[in-house]
Amino acid sequence: MEQAVVTAAAGFSLAAPGKSKGAEVEKEATPKSAAAVQKPRARIGVSTYSFWHFRKERVEVAACIDKAAAMGFDGVEILHRQMSGESDADLQALKHRAFINGLDLMGFSVHQGFLSPDPAVRQKNVAHTLHCIELAYKMGIPTMRLNTGTWGTSKSFDALMANKGIEPPLPGHTDEEAFGWVIEAIEKCLPRAEECGVCLALENHWGLARTAKGMLRIVNALQSPWLKVLLDTGNFLENMYEQMEMVAPHVVMVHAKTYFGGGEWYSLDIDYERVAKILRGVNFKGYISLEFEGKEDAATGVPKSLAVLRKAFG
């Protein structure tokens, strides 16, 4: 090996007899054609919610991890409310199960509500969010879903969905006032997120984040690398593609909705080729996380959904 290095440095050719030095150098210097460079395959995961939908009988997260591996996903997003335990043993068991199945635990979907005029309520939800950041850290999950919460004037989630996520503020209060509450609450969570290396991803999950304009108002107010956007393809109910384009530069993960068998609350005809084009336009390299929200059995609806997403995103 040393002789080869010295000879090359001295300007001698090691080419086989009959081959000119010039031809050998030209061959080595010729770059690979663009066609020969393969585009990396998109990383597609699945939310454990896809197998459960808040039914009476909970589907264990461990079982969802096994199903995801068998179906060919790259990762799993854990829904916090679906977990049966939070002890260190529980958390490490899930991390280990994903590892031996060759899967990433790439997302943690939690619920909180900062949309309240009561400071005590907001602080309780800040404490819950900080706790969940710690859980994500212990499981090695780098991204956690963040909500603004809702006003609660719809009385039920079914009623909120029937009204396309629109609801009036509490009497005597306004959305304008509420932006200050939400921004202040999220700001309290950012130091812990940075300390734990868990990027908070604000989702268009109703409330003040129902629209791209509302989401960007919050993200731009805080200007933190630890607060980005989680794009839910099924939650922009007006001008969906235009709103996706608005938030696309800030997106770190995508919730990709599908509705085989008809949606639990509604169905959308989402052009995933167009969604993929929007994300490629901002050089998005993060995870696509399937949220199957159809009434078809997950055993068939989830694999069908993976095929749709794989076709669109590669």
Place of tokens 């080869």: 4
Closest CA to 126 of 107, 157, 149: 149
* 196 contact partners, CB below 8 Å, separation of at least 6: 133, 134, 136, 137
**Cα–Cα distances in angstroms (integers) from residue 24 to residues 13, 30, 32, 34, 98, in the given order:** 9, 10, 16, 22, 47
Dist. CA 294–CA 234, nearest whole Å? 12
Rounded to an integer, the average pLDDT of 124-149 is 98
Structure tokens at 32: 């690979």
**Domain 44-313 sits in CATH 3.40.50.1820:** no
Per domain, the residue ranges of the chain are: 44-313
Kindly state the average pLDDT of the residues 282-292. 98
Q: How high is the mean pLDDT of the chain? A: 91
Tell me how far CA of residue 1 lies from CA of 4, 6, 19, 29, in angstroms. 5, 9, 22, 22
pLDDT at residue 33, rounded to an integer: 53
pLDDT in tens, 108-122: 999 999 999 999 999
pLDDT band for position 37 (50/70/90)?
low
Question: For residue 36, what pLDDT is reported?
Answer: 54
Q: Is 153:168 a contact under the CB 8 Å cutoff?
A: yes
pTM to 2 decimals? 0.87
Q: Counting every residue, how long is the chain? A: 314
pLDDT at position 155 is 86
Average pLDDT on 284-299 reads: 98
